[in-house]
């Protein structure tokens, strides 16, 4: 159902007029309440303290004022145009009545979460890079969820490979640390995880020519910035099987293995879980790894948070030749069945859209489930061994094959959500294929070593709808389909599950929707200014529940837009935050 827009449009227009003037002076939140370790371990229901709400990455809120009975009454409370154009992948955080936003080019803003008024803004000064370093320059335009909250600080990871710590009250820099050399190509595109007194962060840029031999997950002291440990995702001297898996390629000639998405954390076992991306170059013909599985690419890694040592790994896609990397959200689920607690890690880790259930204490493979059309994996054995379609591996430069899903997914960065209310995992997906052919490429500074040419994204044969929201019923033995909803435009946002029985998310057609968790029925929708993006979230202030929806430019929309030509995409970026709430009683 649609909102009654008379009042909402008036509020929206007023908000944009009020915000059109630049904020010259920064404000101060003088009485800001620090975020404690206890809060991080047990987040208050009214806050949204981290990337996916809690250490378990479930993307679930226990708030239920907005529910199946009330969602149709939502009205626009305020809106905010974000500071910079670029790819919309922001994850708003809320604590003590303040919304913290990190936008492209490492701009951080603090807003009054009730009114949308600017409190302060921090603009990170990025180095001037040569214009020929096109891939590295683009890193600053694809920043994702790149802040964390701890004590009275905001922790930012930057496109020039720094950790910057800001005062939450006024946005001023408390300290900063240069972690790696951005001149080599290293950068941060995802935010840190704060746990056990440590800043756990993961570097990117590992597919840039100058970064051969190392892609890292780090721990730094949260107070001093001192490095405590680092784990190299493509060069592990403690595991000979990992070294052998590269088929004789020495560490100095390895690329890839990027942890593209912020990890999860189990405080009980002091284990942090991270997803790892594809190897580079993308084709084994160019990288020289033969039929090696190229560990730890496309894997889940479980690391001891105190030492950084590997506890276990599981590889979801060995021998990747198609840039179908598997770095996306790892979700932790505890289920009590017949008096026994099952500790699961569930994920749709990669672009081919296959869902996995693992035992998170051991890494044991439990089950898998295909969602979108894919042709790169031919089967998975009961022990979890993944078999690939070797007919799709090019034997010569320029030899072309059609791979499903595409380099744009299938599954991409848009995070799914798990609801303990219905024991279901909701995953935003896109149906797409493209041709892939290896190329002979000169590796140059500031540019990627992909060495692959991708054809246009097209729908799989027999498919007419690009967008898919898949609900999987989760248990320790199987992830069966609970329901699925298909639509013409691609899904362009992450999704949010709530105790109100709803799932929120949106698409390239600018529609934000609420689906019934039990049935998949759309119970509310609203068209906004641009494709729905980033990570929707919810919070509560003074007994009122708010729903925050990011919008803006999305590669997820543009890459497959030819599949729904009747739905025009906006020509501008439109990067904004829209915040809805229920009307007060009697209003």
Please name the residues in contact with 559: beta carbons below 8 A apart, sequence gap of 6 or more. 406, 408, 432, 457, 490
Task: Kindly list the distances between the CA atom of residue 373 and the CA atoms of 142, 345, 390, 439, 569, in Å, as whole numbers in the listed order.
Answer: 27, 23, 17, 26, 25
Q: Is 101 part of a structural domain of the chain? A: yes
Structure tokens at 502: 């709803």
pLDDT at 564: 95
| CA–CA distance, 467 with 433 (Å, rounded to integer) | 13
DSSP 3-state of 141 = helix
Q: Is 34 part of a structural domain of the chain? A: yes
Do the Cβ atoms of 254 and 234 come closer than 8 Å? yes
pLDDT at 139: 86
Pairing of strands 264-266, 60-61: unpaired
| CA–CA distance, 388 with 315 (Å, rounded to integer) | 12
Which CATH number covers residue 14?
2.140.10.10
Long-range contacts of the stretch 14-20 (C-beta < 8 A, 24+): 15/76, 15/78, 15/79, 15/80, 15/116, 16/79, 16/81, 19/79, 19/80, 19/81, 19/116
Question: One digit per residue, pLDDT tens: the chain, 587 residues?
Answer: 434 433 333 333 333 333 333 333 457 778 999 999 999 999 999 999 999 999 999 999 999 999 999 999 999 999 999 988 888 899 999 999 999 999 989 999 999 999 999 999 999 999 999 999 999 988 888 877 789 999 999 999 999 999 999 999 999 999 999 999 999 999 999 999 999 999 999 999 999 999 999 999 999 999 999 999 999 999 999 999 999 999 999 999 999 999 999 999 999 999 999 999 999 999 999 999 999 999 999 999 999 999 999 999 999 999 999 999 999 999 999 998 888 999 999 999 999 999 999 999 999 999 999 999 999 999 999 999 999 999 999 999 999 999 999 999 999 999 999 999 999 999 999 999 999 999 998 999 999 999 999 999 999 999 999 999 999 999 999 899 999 999 999 999 999 999 999 999 999 999 999 999 999 999 999 999 999 999 999 999 999 999 999 999 888 889 999 999 999 999 888 999 999 999 886 55
Q: Is 586 part of a structural domain of the chain? A: no
Give the pLDDT confidence of 125-135 residue by residue, as tens digits: 999 999 999 99
pLDDT at 180: 98
Structure tokens at 587: 């209003």
Q: Is 26 part of a structural domain of the chain? A: yes
Give me the number of domains the chain comprises: 1
DSSP 3-state of 109 = strand
pLDDT at 587: 55
The pTM score is 0.94
Q: Is 356 part of a structural domain of the chain? A: yes
Using only the alpha carbons of the chain, give its radius of gyration. 22
**3-state per-residue secondary structure call for 432-473:** CEEEEEECCCCCCCCCECCCEEECCCECCCCCCCCEEEEEEE
What are the backbone dihedrals phi and psi of residue 52, each rounded to the nearest 5 degrees, phi first? -115, 25
Parent domain of 417: 5-581
Give the pLDDT confidence of 28-43 residue by residue, as tens digits: 778 999 999 999 999 9
Pairing of strands 496-498, 60-61: parallel
pLDDT at 26: 57
Q: Is 305 part of a structural domain of the chain? A: yes
Chain centroid offset of residue 13 CA:
31
Structure tokens at 190: 């995802």
Do the Cβ atoms of 281 and 452 come closer than 8 Å? yes
220, containing H or E segment: strand 216-221
Task: Kindly list the distances between the CA atom of residue 140 and the CA atoms of 83, 125, 298, 312, in Å, as whole numbers in the listed order.
Answer: 13, 11, 24, 32
- 19 burial type by CB count under 10 A (0-12 exposed, 13-18 middle, 19+ buried): middle
Strands (E), 133-172: 147-150, 153-157, 162-167
pLDDT at 432: 97
Q: Is 587 part of a structural domain of the chain? A: no
19, containing H or E segment: helix 5-19
pLDDT at 12: 35
pLDDT at 172: 96
Nearest-5° angle of CA 521, CA 522, CA 525?
175
- Alpha-carbon dihedral 23, 29, 30, 33, rounded to 10 degrees: -170
Q: Tell whether omega for the bond before 384 is within 30 degrees of 0, i.e. cis.
A: no
Chain centroid offset of residue 201 CA:
14
Among all chains, which residue has been given the structure tokens 């180095």? Answer: 127
């Amino acid at each position: 159902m649609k909102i009654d827009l008379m009042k909402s449009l008036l509020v929206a227009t007023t908000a944009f007029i009020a915000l059109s003037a630049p904020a010259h002076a920064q404000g101060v939140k003088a009485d800001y309440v620090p975020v404690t370790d206890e809060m991080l371990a047990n987040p208050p229901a009214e806050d949204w303290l981290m990337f996916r709400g809690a250490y378990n990455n479930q993307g679930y809120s226990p708030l239920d004022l907005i529910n199946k009975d009330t969602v149709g009454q939502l009205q626009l409370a305020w809106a905010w145009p974000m500071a910079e154009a670029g790819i919309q992948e922001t994850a708003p955080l809320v604590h003590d009545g303040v919304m913290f936003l990190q936008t492209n080019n490492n701009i951080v803003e603090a807003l009054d979460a009730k009114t949308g008024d600017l409190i302060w803004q921090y603009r990170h000064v990025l180095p001037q890079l040569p214009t020929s370093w096109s891939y590295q320059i683009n890193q600053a335009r694809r920043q994702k969820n790149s802040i964390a909250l701890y004590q009275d600080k905001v922790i930012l990871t930057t496109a020039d490979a720094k950790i910057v710590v800001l005062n939450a009250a006024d946005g001023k820099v408390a300290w900063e640390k240069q972690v790696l050399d951005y001149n080599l190509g290293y950068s941060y595109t995802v935010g840190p995880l704060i746990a056990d007194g440590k800043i756990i962060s993961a570097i990117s840029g590992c597919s840039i020519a100058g970064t051969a031999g190392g892609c890292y997950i780090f721990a730094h002291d949260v107070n001093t910035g001192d490095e405590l440990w680092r784990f190299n995702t493509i060069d592990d001297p403690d595991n000979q099987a990992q070294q052998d898996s590269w088929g004789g390629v020495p560490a100095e000639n390895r690329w890839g293995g990027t942890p593209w998405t912020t990890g999860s954390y189990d405080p009980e076992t002091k284990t942090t879980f991270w997803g790892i991306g594809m190897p580079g170059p993308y084709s084994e013909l160019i990288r020289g790894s033969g039929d090696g599985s190229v560990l730890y690419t496309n894997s889940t890694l479980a690391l001891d948070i105190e030492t950084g040592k590997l506890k276990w790994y599981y590889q979801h896609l060995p021998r990747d030749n198609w840039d179908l990397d598997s770095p996306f959200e790892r979700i932790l689920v505890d289920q009590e069945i017949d008096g026994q607690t099952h500790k699961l890690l569930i994920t749709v880790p990669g672009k081919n859209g296959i869902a996995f259930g693992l035992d998170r204490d051991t890494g044991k493979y439990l089950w898998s489930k295909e969602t979108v059309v894919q042709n790169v994996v031919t089967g998975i054995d009961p022990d979890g061994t993944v078999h690939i379609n070797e007919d799709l591996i090019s034997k010569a430069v320029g030899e072309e094959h059609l791979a499903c899903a595409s380099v744009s997914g299938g599954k991409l960065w848009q995070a799914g959500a798990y609801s303990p209310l219905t024991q279901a995992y909701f995953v935003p997906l896109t149906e797409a294929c493209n041709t892939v052919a290896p190329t002979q490429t000169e590796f140059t500074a500031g540019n990627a070593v992909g060495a692959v040419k991708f054809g246009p994204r097209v729908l799989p044969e027999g498919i007419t709808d690009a967008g898919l929201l898949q609900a999987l019923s989760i248990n320790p033995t199987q992830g069966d389909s609970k329901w699925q909803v298909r639509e013409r435009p691609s899904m362009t946002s992450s999704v949010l599950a709530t105790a109100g029985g709803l799932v929120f998310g949106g698409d390239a057609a600018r529609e934000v929707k609420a689906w019934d968790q039990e049935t998949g029925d759309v119970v509310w929708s609203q068209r906004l200014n641009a494709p729905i993006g980033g990570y929707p979230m919810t919070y509560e202030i003074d007994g009122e529940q708010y729903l925050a929806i990011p919008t803006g430019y999305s590669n997820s929309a543009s890459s497959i837009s030819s599949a729904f030509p009747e739905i025009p995409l906006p020509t501008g970026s439109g990067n904004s935050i829209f915040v809805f709430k229920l009307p007060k009683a009697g209003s």
